[in-house]
Every structure is written in structure tokens, then in C-alpha cells.
Amino acid sequence: MPVEPAPRAPTARSASRLRMTGYAALQVLLFVPTLLAFVLCAVGGALSLVVLGLPLLAIGMPLLRWTAQRHRVMAARCLGIEVPPGPRRTPPGEPLYGRLMLWARDPMTWRELAWALASITIGFTVSLAFLVLFLGIVTGLVWWYGTEPIMRGRARLDLMFLAYGRTERLEQRVAELTETRADVVDHAAAELRRIERDLHDGAQARLVALSMSLGLAEEAFATDPERARALVNDARTTTSAALTDLRNVVRGIHPPVLADRGLAGAVQALALDLPLPVEVEASLPGRPPAPVESALYFTIAECLANIGKHSGAGNAWVLMRHRDGILQAIVGDDGAGGADPGAGTGMLGVMRRLAAFDGTMTVASPVGGPTIVTLEVPCALSSPKTAPSSVSD
């Protein structure tokens, strides 16, 4: 995920006094859910050692998320800044236990817990005191001059817990980059090993066989021309097989049609090779950088191959477009659904490759279908290539 711009930069006008007062009222009202969430999480967390706490956490955590997010938005509005990013999103369909583990690993969860404690004590007191001041209209002056400093103070306190600082964001980014870089290196090494193995077991072995056939044929010419002819014929068959092997290796490295026609043309070619009708729609005014193009191509190829193999779909479609600096490819089918994006090493490999470019993949595949895979990679498109056959000059 790309680093968000520093949230301190004022982007929106901060809320008015009246609105801030409304927020204070809301914050007082949210005291109960926040308290409830905190208690549920604290007790649930303590009891989770004996499994009993898990249902409590299952209720408490989403509640905590919700009230924290409300406060995050209010605090950002009070300060007139963009709403800072919250906790990591948990993938839909993840089982309860997996979700809890993801929550536990996310530092934001612990920040939210700490925040809840601060919110039900200091925060609540501040908002309540302010409201009381406001309701006692006699102190109208206090309201006029006090609203902004008080509410901003409370907002800063909330955001201290609910938003990461600059250093933390950079640390997270470094951790992400380290992880994706390691993945890319692993992936590249695995690819090289695969290519080496394919060449060794395929074309290389066949060339050895070919050379043997020709050697035997050379000897047989004098004594048994009929046998020599058969050997030469064998040699020819072996050559064809070796060429087929080489073609497959080349396709696996960089498909020629991708070099010739770019992403749109190459996906069109993929679609033609599939046993079901695939509609391809592309509005790409240029070509993405070659490594991104190749990573996207192989990811789409993997998606389409999975559709052909597993989905039982009658129709599929691919939509490619570029907007707001993001190249988006959507692959859909009308099959049975229930697809698991994590299953299969092929899909994991292409996802890692995509991640190196900050690319993301989201899969929506309810049981009963349809399955829709959305791939997004931030990148710029080069200006459209001029027709390569500049034959007129």
C-alpha cells in the first residue's frame, strides 16, 4: 500500500463551533459503546486463553473498530485534516480465529485499546465538561472562545492513539518494501530454477537424443540405408519436439504476443485460446512499464486459466482501464464462485510479483458466483506506441 500523504496538512476546512459542539454531544453518547467495547475486549482477551473469551472478542473488537473510526473521523474534522488510515482491513470470509490473529498482529488494535481507555476517562470528561459549559448558556463567552481549543485538544489526544505518526508510517513502509523485495527475489530465483529445469529436461535432452539419432544414422548409411532413413526421420520428429519445448519456455518467460501487441492484444490472444467465450474490453491510452505489463499479464493469465479449470463458467470477461494513476484489470466469470485466492502456488507467485509494484488483488467470489477478481497497480502509461511497421520510409 502506498504511503498516504502526511495527515497533518490541512486539506479541508475545520468544522464550525456548532458542529464541534455536536461532536462533543456525540462523543458523550459514544461513551457507552466505547466502554462496552473496552470491557468486552479486555475481559475477552483475558479469557481467550480458555477459549471462552473468543465470542466476547468477536463482539468487542468490531464494536471497538467502529467507535474508534467514528472518533477518528470527528477528530480529523475538528483539526481540518484528512481522515488518517485506520487498521488493516481483514479479508472477507476469513474465519473468526484468523480474523482475531490478524487483529492481534495489527499495532493499530493495541492503539485503539489504549485509546478506548483514554477516551472513557479523559476524553469523556473533556467532552462532558464542555457540553455542560455549553448548556449553561450563561457561559456563552466560554463557548465562543473555548470550543476550538477544547475540541482540538480532544481531537489531538484521540489522534495520538488513533493515527500513526510519520516515523511509524515510514517504518511500516520499510517493512512492506523489505517483505515484497524478499518475495521478488525469491520469485525470480524460483523462476530461474524453473527455466533451467525446463531447458534441461526438455530441449537440452531432446538435442542430445537428436545428436544420437544423427550419429547412428551416419554409421547406418553405408550398411543399412533403410534404417538410416528411419533414424533421420526420428531426428526430425525430435527436432520438432525440442522446438515445441523451447516455444513453451519462451512463452513462460515473456510471451511474444505481449511484446508485439501489448497487454490488450496479449489478453485478447489468451482469451482466444480459452475453451469458453471471453469478452475483452480495454481502454488503455498507452502501455504500462514493461515489468508491470508482464506481471499483470501473467496474473490475468492465471485468473483465466483458473476460470477454465475450476469455475465451470459459461462466460468470462476481462476489463482493463487506467484512471487516477491506477491501472485496473477486472476479471470476472459467471461460474460457481467460492474461489479461494490463496489456493494454488501459481496464484501466489503472480500475486507476489504484482505486490512488488504495490499492486493489489481483491477477490469477490460468493458461493453461487459470480467471481470477480480486481487487480490494481499504480503506474503511469507511456504515450501510445506508433505503428511499428514504419514501412513507408
Partner 1 sequence: MRLVLAEDSALLRVGLTQLLESRGFEILHAVDNAAALDEALADPAAEAAVLDVRMPPTFTDEGLRAAITAREARPGFPVMVLSQYVEALYARELFASGTGAVGYLLKDRVSDVAEFAEGVRRVASGGTVLDPEVVAAVMARRHEEPLERLTPREREVLAQMAEGRSNAAIAQRMVVTEKAVAKHINAIFTKLDLPVDEDDHRRVRAVLAWLRV
H-run or E-run covering 326:
strand 326-333
Beta bridge partners of 362: 374
Q: Which part of the chain contacts partner 1 (CB under 8 A), choosing from 154-162, 200-208, 237-245, 354-362?
A: 237-245
Residue 277, interface with partner 1 (CB under 8 A)?
A: yes
Burial of 158 from C-beta contacts in 10 A (0-12 / 13-18 / 19+): buried
Number of residues that bind partner 1 (CB under 8 A): 30
Residue 36, interface with partner 1 (CB under 8 A)?
A: no
Smallest separation (angstroms) from partner 1 to the CB of 247: 5
Compute the distance between CA of residue 128 and CA of residue 150 in angstroms, rounded to an integer. 11
CB-nearer residue toward partner 1: 177 or 259 = 259
Residue 33, interface with partner 1 (CB under 8 A)?
A: no
Residue 391, interface with partner 1 (CB under 8 A)?
A: yes
Residue 336, interface with partner 1 (CB under 8 A)?
A: no
Residue 290, interface with partner 1 (CB under 8 A)?
A: no
Radius of gyration over alpha carbons of the chain, in Å?
31
Smallest separation (angstroms) from partner 1 to the CB of 266: 9
Q: How many residues does the chain have?
A: 393
CB-nearer residue toward partner 1: 265 or 378 = 265
Residue 244, interface with partner 1 (CB under 8 A)?
A: yes
Q: Rounded to 5 degrees, what are φ and ψ at 287? A: -110, 140
Helices (H), the chain: 17-29, 31-47, 53-79, 96-105, 107-118, 124-135, 140-162, 166-199, 205-223, 225-253, 256-272, 290-306, 345-355
Which one of 51, 137, 272, 367 is in contact with partner 1 (CB under 8 A)? 272
Residue 390, interface with partner 1 (CB under 8 A)?
A: yes
* Nearest of 173, 184, 177 to residue 354 by alpha carbon: 184
Long-range contacts of 260-268 (CB under 8 A, 24+ apart): 262/287, 262/293, 262/385, 263/287, 263/288, 263/293, 263/296, 263/297, 263/320, 264/320, 266/297, 267/297, 267/300, 267/318, 267/320
Residue 259, interface with partner 1 (CB under 8 A)?
A: yes
Residue 250, interface with partner 1 (CB under 8 A)?
A: yes
CB-nearer residue toward partner 1: 125 or 248 = 248
CA-angle at 18, arms to 17 and 22, nearest 5°: 115
Smallest separation (angstroms) from partner 1 to the CB of 341: 26
Which one of 197, 236, 253, 286 is in contact with partner 1 (CB under 8 A)? 236
CB-nearer residue toward partner 1: 167 or 389 = 389
CB-nearer residue toward partner 1: 112 or 245 = 245
Smallest separation (angstroms) from partner 1 to the CB of 314: 8
Burial of 40 from C-beta contacts in 10 A (0-12 / 13-18 / 19+): buried
Smallest separation (angstroms) from partner 1 to the CB of 308: 9
Q: Which part of the chain contacts partner 1 (CB under 8 A), choosing from 59-67, 106-114, 148-156, 255-263?
A: 255-263
Which one of 55, 265, 289, 344 is in contact with partner 1 (CB under 8 A)? 265
Compute the distance between CA of residue 88 and CA of residue 105 in angstroms, rounded to an integer. 10
Q: Which chain residues interact with partner 1 by CB under 8 A?
A: 236, 239-240, 243-244, 247, 250-251, 256-257, 259-261, 265, 268-269, 272-277, 314, 387-393
